[in-house]
Amino acid sequence: NAGVTQTPKFQVLKTGQSMTLQCAQDMNHEYMSWYRQDPGMGLRLIHYSVGAGITDQGEVPNGYNVSRSTTEDFPLRLLSAAPSQTSVYFCASSSTGLDYEQYFGPGTRLTVT
């Protein structure tokens, strides 16, 4: 199993551009989530999903959209990139819930200039 995969590993955007961060898992997990981690800080929950077709907001959802059309994939869309969105983005999945064991991807390092 590949576990949780994320693409791209690195991305540089200009202010106002849009893009999609990809996340996929091959463990048939129902729960998936997106976090951002700013330098020296802990992770903050952006959006999460409890199954295909179901998504909800986390702690810092503004400026991001998600959808969950399949169990495997959970893309994160940046609508109009801002320098404040410069961060490392982690995707995670879990079979039992966000408060139980989550498996994290390797992260995407995003810089917005």
User: b/e per residue, 20-33, with b = 16+ CB within 10 A?
Assistant: ebebbbeeebbbbb
Q: Is residue 100 at the binding interface for other proteins, with CB under 8 A as the rule?
A: yes
Task: In whole angstroms, give the CA distance from residue 50 to residue 83.
Answer: 30
Residue found under tokens 């079979």: 95
* Per-residue binding letters, 36-75, with other proteins (x by CB under 8 A): ----xxxxxx--x-x-----xxxx----------------
Measured from the CB atom, the residue of 78 and 107 that comes closer to other proteins is 107
Measured from the CB atom, the residue of 74 and 90 that comes closer to other proteins is 90
Q: Is residue 92 at the binding interface for other proteins, with CB under 8 A as the rule?
A: yes
Q: How many residues bind other proteins (CB under 8 A)?
A: 28
User: b/e per residue, 54-66, with b = 16+ CB within 10 A?
Assistant: ebeebebbeebeb
Among 23, 25, 35, 85, which residue sits at the site for other proteins (rule: CB under 8 A)?
35
Structure tokens at 98: 């966000």
Positions in the binding site for other proteins (CB under 8 A): 4, 33, 35, 40-45, 48, 50, 56-59, 90, 92, 97-107
